[in-house]
């Protein structure tokens, strides 16, 4: 869910999610024929904001896959 930004919508529709051998969730640029940079930047910023001024670690894989994650 986001503010209906057309560039972000385009990037989200182009994004392909994959899991590496260590079960980290990530966007796969190799399999996406179009640009995904806007959504990658938003996800990176969101992840950094979750760690800001906290003394505990957040399991981002669980959070992103939980169904409670949205923009």
Q: For residue range 15-70, list pLDDT tens digits in order.
A: 888 888 988 888 887 777 778 888 888 888 887 777 766 666 767 777 777 777 66
More confident residue, 55 or 8: 8
Bridge pairing between strands 17-19 and 25-27: antiparallel
- Longest C-alpha distance within the chain, in Å? 39
Among candidates 31, 58, 30, which has minimal Cα distance to 46? 58
Query: Using CA atoms, how far apart are residues 65 and 10, in angstroms rounded to an integer?
Result: 21
> Residue 2: pLDDT band by 50, 70, 90 thresholds?
confident
């Amino acid at each position: 869910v986001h503010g209906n930004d057309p560039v972000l919508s385009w990037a989200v529709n182009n994004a392909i999610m994959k899991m590496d051998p260590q079960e980290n969730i990530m966007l796969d640029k190799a399999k996406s024929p179009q640009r995904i940079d806007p959504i990658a930047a938003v996800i990176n910023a969101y992840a950094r904001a979750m760690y800001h001024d906290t003394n505990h670690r957040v399991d981002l894989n669980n959070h992103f896959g939980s169904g409670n994650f949205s923009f």
